[in-house]
Structure 1
Amino acid sequence: MELTTRERIYELLRASPKALTGREIARRVKTRERDVYEHILHIALSSRRRGEVVVIFPAKCEECGFAFEPEKVRKPGRCPVCHSTKIDGPRFLVRESEWSP
């Protein structure tokens, strides 16, 4: 049985030793980058039931170093401080939760 795109993204994030950007994930699972972000939101909800957590390292401006809110899953278009479009997108991992109900 073949895995769905979401399942492939989930397995990739669980197995990866380092956090991956949306672009890296899209390239590895052969889907569009903007679809990856939608899948990440669903993976975050379902992984909590498994006692796991999606770790989000926030996007950062490469020009001035401004760090975006960690809750932002999608890559921002430009920096609100310096207006640069050189943005290092958010990175993602799936790890075991330190606290589970």
Structure 2
Amino acid sequence: MREADETTRQRLARALREEPGTPSALAERFDLTPGSVLRHVEHVSRSVEGTGEQFLVAPPACEECGFDRFDDLLNRPSRCPSCKSESVTEPTFTIE
């Protein structure tokens, strides 16, 4: 299938099969906003269920205190709930 014939979600899924990606990196690559990437990735995660593939998420983590038990892994937290630092990494997605 040519890239022009693929939907945004199909292109995101193909990219995540090739290499892991953060919302910001995927947004830049596909000329989207990080928020729209998160909405698309949520649908991509459901579409791989039952296919033999796994949608994996490396959770966001606080760079100050190491907190990584965020409730919503498909989100870009603005600050750490533990120490209130704004130095929080983005989640990283991949499909294996």
Per the normalisation by structure 2, the TM-score is 0.88
Residues of 1 paired with 2:28 and 2:55: CA distance? Answer: 19
Question: SS at the partner of 1:59?
Answer: coil
1:11 aligns with 2:14: yes
Are 1:21 and 1:92, in contact at CA under 8 Å, matched by a contact in 2?
A: yes
Are 1:56 and 1:70, in contact at CA under 8 Å, matched by a contact in 2?
A: no
Question: SS at the partner of 1:69?
Answer: coil
Q: Percent identity?
A: 32
Residues of 2 paired with 1:64 and 1:24: CA distance? Answer: 24
> What RMSD in Å do the two structures reach over aligned CA positions?
1.4
Tell me the residue number matched to 2:43: 42
Q: Could you tell me how far 1:69 is from its partner in structure 2?
A: 3.3
Q: How many residues align structurally?
A: 93
Residues of 1 paired with 2:30 and 2:9: CA distance? Answer: 9
More strand by share: 1
1:2 aligns with 2:2: no
Tell me the residue number matched to 1:81: 82
**Higher mean C-alpha displacement, 44-53 vs 69-78:** 69-78
Unpaired runs of at least 5, structure 2: none
Per the normalisation by structure 1, the TM-score is 0.84
Structure 1 counterpart of 2:27, which letter? A
Tell me the residue number matched to 1:98: none
